[in-house]
Every structure is written in structure tokens, then in C-alpha cells.
Amino acid sequence: MTPEEIQTIAVNQQKVRHKTPYHVCVCTAAACHSMQSDQVKNMLFEEVRARGLEKECTVRGVGCLGLCSEGPLVVVESDGDHPTQRLYKKVKAEDAPRIIGQMGKEPVADLLCPSDLPFFTKQKKIVLENSGLIDPERVEDAIALGGYAALIQALTDMTPAEVIEEIVHSGLRGRGGAGYPTGLKWSTVAKAVGAKKYVVCNGDEGDPGAFMDRSVLESDPHRVLEGMIIAAYAVGAQEGYVYVRAEYPLAIKRLRNAIRQAQRLGLLGNNILGTPFHFHVDVRLGAGAFVCGEETALLASIEGLRGSPRPRPPYPAQYGLWGCPTLINNVETFANIAPIIRKGSAWFAGIGTEKSKGTKVFALAGQVKHTGLIEVPMGTTLREIVFEIGGGIPEGKQFKAIQTGGPSGGCIPEKYLDMPVDYDSLSELGSIMGSGGMIVIDETSSMVDVAKYFMEFCVSESCGKCVPCRVGTDQMHRLLEKIAKQKATRNDLALLEDLCDLVKKTSLCGLGQTAPNPVLSTLRYFRHEYESLLRAESHARS
């Protein structure tokens, strides 16, 4: 297809959208899906048909609407003279007649969710801009809202070097957690010598409590594909893989569907948009190992080998898949590419803090009123996230800590709540940005238990290749259990700290090097909790 034909699809789709005055959008992402939102959608559809309103109202499934704790969520939009938008929460299939019946009249009060909540107003959406607006299973919907416009722009108006320059100037940093400058990575791969190059998308999101990548893939898979295709053009790759964990069946289904649609439209495959550029994408599924989110283990897994990491350097940018230069970025990183190309690097660089640009998607979970998926500009404070967007701690309990970055991150206490969230300030506090999991912990939780939980996770997810991570995490977990059972002495605590240091400094890959972080950060801010659990009089006999 030519760029003009793609634009025709966009125009036609926008016309179709304005044919009916009412639109009912049902969230069909995993959280609402698990609350039977597909039944809600079917009932709404039946109801519209029963009342003969097909020409008045369309019922569509859309991507994540964000407020996962209140699902299933339904939005009723009316165009008309006074465009309105109503968000209904906790909708059941039997509520369908009331919702359809009240279209154009008073809203259904008991289901209505106020749309002026800080949860909605405090957010800024770049990655999730189409999430909840488009049907993730229809490429036409994505195209109507600007999907693939950036690709057309990059392929027709820009050289690969110009694309990379835009990404460099945008200041985008890797959203997988470490925050490596994306533009630098791209230019490294572009400069690497190799007849064949690969682009890999890391969708092996495994942190407990994190579901950002899943939501992006479920809500707007075309945005990720578009980012990958632009990346392939920029670095000179012809083949790519999206590595998604098998635990995300809905994301995989929608991604595969999106790839087929893109191939059909000539946005993937040979001679993309009539240019000499070729790019093919395939999906690879993880088999349940957390360590496969580590890039070298992920590449080994794609190659069909045991998913265990290898020491870097050489970095994948030089020596990646089957020894070829490989660009590997996270789902969210790729999702940021199209808007940067469309709106320009200056626009993107104007958002966020000095060293961390743009927005970050977080999965807000734990002891907080509004759990769900949020996207905020870098530099938003933790207090705004927990108390305004998250609505604070339920049941009048006290806030104790917020855990960021999953098993590689740490716990941040109340006194640092006014810290702006960006890569550097979080690592200063002994935590990390990570992929974006945020777990709010209230006063009733023991920080030793929190550390123990994450350590248990690392024990079972260590690949077992290197000694410090394999045995060290197990020994640390045993010590934490001993402390939690109030059987530990001061010597045990000292040994725990020694092991933290050893595992952090000598482990082979990022999993082991960061595994002690939950322990180190809780020791840093909540040491008294550990000490209060030590045996009263420690008999220091070694």
C-alpha cells in the first residue's frame, strides 16, 4: 500500500466513527476481561439490537481504561451538540438495559464514576494516548488516530540518520528499567558492522505487580509495531522478534493479530509502503523464566537455548542474536517512538525533568484506593502518585513505604515522598525506576516480610548459572526467614549484609546484581524493624 492509501483508511475510518451519535466503549484489557467484560460487551450489543438502535449507537471493545480496580469499565460517549462522556464502573452484564436506556438522559447514578478524579486529570498520556479509545483488534482504528503516520514520515521524509538524531535529541531513555539512552543504543547498532541485524522487543515483563507492557500490547499493539519498524529502518535491520511471556495470552493474541493486519496493509514485510525497505516480525513466547527479561538470556531463549545470561561485553548491540548486531528495547520504549517522530524531539524533550524526559507508565498496586495503570510525566512526586492519583491509603491506615522496581528495586519511606520520580533520584534513594511496578505498603505490613517475599522470588527465578546468585539468594532468604521467626542474632544480620554486598558485586547478570536491593533498601530505612526481631540477647558464638 502507498502512504496515500493509508491516509484514505484514516479518513474513511473517521467518517465511520461519526456516523452514529453514541459510542459505547467496553474495556477489554486483561483486568476487565477477567471480570467478564466480554459478557458485558455482548449484553450491551444485544440490548442495542433489541431496541433497534444500531444506527444510533455502536458498541466496541477498547483497550485499558486505566482504573483497573473499578472494572469492568464502560464509557458512553455522545457526539451531538453537547458531547459528553460517561464512565461507568463495576458494570455487570445485567446493567446493560439501564446503561443503554439512559443514553441521552440522566446517567445511571450508582454506576457512574466521576471523571474529574485526580486519577484521570493528573495523568499525561503519550504511550497510552490511544489506550481506551481504539479497538486494539482493528488496525483501521489505530490508523484513524494517527497510527503509522510516523512510519510514513520516517520512510518518506527522513534518512535513518535523521531518525536516530530525533531519538537522541528527544532524550528518551530505556523504559525497561536501567534507563540507558535509547538514541545512543540505536546509533551503536546502526554503526555496528554486520550483514544482518535484528530488532528485538522485550515484552518479558516479570516483576510481581507490574502490568504496563501487557496493557500496552493489549490496548495498542500497532504502536509497538510501528516503533519497531521505525527502529529497524533507523538501524538497518531486516528481521525482528517480539518476545512476550506466555502468561499474557490476550496480549499475544492481539499482537499476532496486529502483525497479520500490518502485513496485509504492507506495513510489514517486503517493500514497506512501496519503499525498498524490508522488515519481518515474529513473535516468540517465553516459557515462564523471569531471567529471560535480562537481554542476553532473552536472546539465548529466542535462539532456542536455555535462558541463561552471559557476561557483557560484548553487548547485544555488537554481538546479539546469532552473533549479529541486535537492538533490544522494551515495549514501552518502542511505544514512545511514533509520537516522538510525529511531534518532534523538542516536544518530547519539553516534558519531564532535566535528565529523564517524557512520561512513564506505572502499574499502581498494593494498599492504595485506586489501583491501575497510570502514565505521568517524569518528575511527578511520589506523593502525587500515591495520594492524589492513587487516592491515598484505604480504611484510614497510615502510609509506610512504596516499593518501586520490583525484585530489583527498593522501598522508599514517607520522608522521601516529595522526591520527583525519575531515573536518577530513585537510584539515589536505593531503589530503581525499573519497568514501572509500584506497590504501596501500609503500616500493617512488616518490611522484613516484604524483603523476604522479593528474595523468595529471586531464589526461584535465579537461573542457577553463577554461584553468588544461585546460593547467595537462597542463603539470604533463609536468613530473612530466620529473622522473621525471631530466631536470628546480630551475627546473622551482619552475615545478611555481607551476602548482600557479595551478591550485588559479583553476580553475573542484572538479576543477581540487583537481587539484594529490596533487603538493602529496607535495611537502610527500616533497620529498626529488623533489629526489633533479633533475639533479645544474642549469644555471639561463631
Partner 1 sequence: MTAQVRIKTLKIDGRDVSAREDETILQVARDNNIFIPSLCYLEGLSAVGACRLCMVELRGSSKLLPACMTHVEEGMDVITQSERLAKYRRMILELIFSERNHICSICVSNGHCELQSLAQKLGLTHIQVPYRFPRFQVDATHDRFVIDHNRCILCARCVRVCDEIEGAHTWDIMGRGIEARVISDLNQPWGESQTCTSCGKCVHVCPTGALFEKGKSSSEMAKRQQFLPYLTLMREGKQ
Length of the chain, please? 542
Rounded Cα–Cα distance for residues 24 and 61 (Å):
8
Does 468 bind partner 1 (CB under 8 A)? Our answer is yes
Residue 432 gets which letter from DSSP? -
* Closest approach of partner 1 to the CB of residue 485, in Å: 14
CA 119 to chain CA mean position, Å: 18
Site string for partner 1, 309-328 (x = CB under 8 A): -xx-----------------
Are the CB atoms for 203 and 245 separated by under 8 Å? Answer: yes
One DSSP character per residue, 212-266 reads HHHHHHHH-HHHHHHHHHHHHHHHT-SEEEEEEETT-HHHHHHHHHHHHHHHHTT
Three-state SS for 421? coil
- Closer CB to partner 1, 319 or 525, in the complex: 319
CA 77 to chain CA mean position, Å: 27
Rounded Cα–Cα distance for residues 108 and 105 (Å):
9
Rounded Cα–Cα distance for residues 189 and 324 (Å):
10
Residue 272 gets which letter from DSSP? G
* Closest approach of partner 1 to the CB of residue 407, in Å: 13
The interface with partner 1 within residues 282-301 (CB under 8 A) comprises 289, 291
* Closest approach of partner 1 to the CB of residue 475, in Å: 5
Does 8 bind partner 1 (CB under 8 A)? Our answer is no
Rounded Cα–Cα distance for residues 381 and 414 (Å):
12
Does 366 bind partner 1 (CB under 8 A)? Our answer is no
Rounded Cα–Cα distance for residues 453 and 12 (Å):
52
Residues 78-87: b if buried by 16+ CB within 10 A, e if exposed: beeeeeeebb
Does 450 bind partner 1 (CB under 8 A)? Our answer is no
Size of residue set near partner 1 by CB under 8 A: 32
* Closest approach of partner 1 to the CB of residue 493, in Å: 13
Question: Which DSSP helix (H) or strand (E) runs through 87?
Answer: strand 84-88
Does 484 bind partner 1 (CB under 8 A)? Our answer is no
Does 507 bind partner 1 (CB under 8 A)? Our answer is yes
- Closer CB to partner 1, 304 or 311, in the complex: 311
Does 306 bind partner 1 (CB under 8 A)? Our answer is yes
Q: Which of 90, 98, 383, 465 binds partner 1 (CB under 8 A)?
A: 465
Does 538 bind partner 1 (CB under 8 A)? Our answer is no
Does 493 bind partner 1 (CB under 8 A)? Our answer is no
Does 462 bind partner 1 (CB under 8 A)? Our answer is yes
* Closest approach of partner 1 to the CB of residue 195, in Å: 19
Rounded Cα–Cα distance for residues 298 and 311 (Å):
13
- Closer CB to partner 1, 178 or 376, in the complex: 178
* Closest approach of partner 1 to the CB of residue 209, in Å: 21
Q: Which of 296, 473, 489, 522 binds partner 1 (CB under 8 A)?
A: 473
* Closest approach of partner 1 to the CB of residue 245, in Å: 15
Rounded Cα–Cα distance for residues 406 and 391 (Å):
22
- Which among 359-367, 400-408, 500-508, 532-540 is the span making contact with partner 1, rule CB under 8 A? 500-508
Does 34 bind partner 1 (CB under 8 A)? Our answer is no
Does 495 bind partner 1 (CB under 8 A)? Our answer is yes
Nearest to 307 by CA among 282, 283, 284, 330: 284
Does 508 bind partner 1 (CB under 8 A)? Our answer is yes
Q: Which of 122, 253, 478, 490 binds partner 1 (CB under 8 A)?
A: 478
Cα 340 to Cα 183, 279, 322, 344, 529: the distances in Å are: 12, 21, 31, 5, 46
Does 535 bind partner 1 (CB under 8 A)? Our answer is no
* Closest approach of partner 1 to the CB of residue 517, in Å: 17
Q: Which residues contribute to the site for partner 1 (CB under 8 A)?
A: 289, 291, 306, 310-311, 459-475, 478, 495, 498-499, 502, 505-508, 542
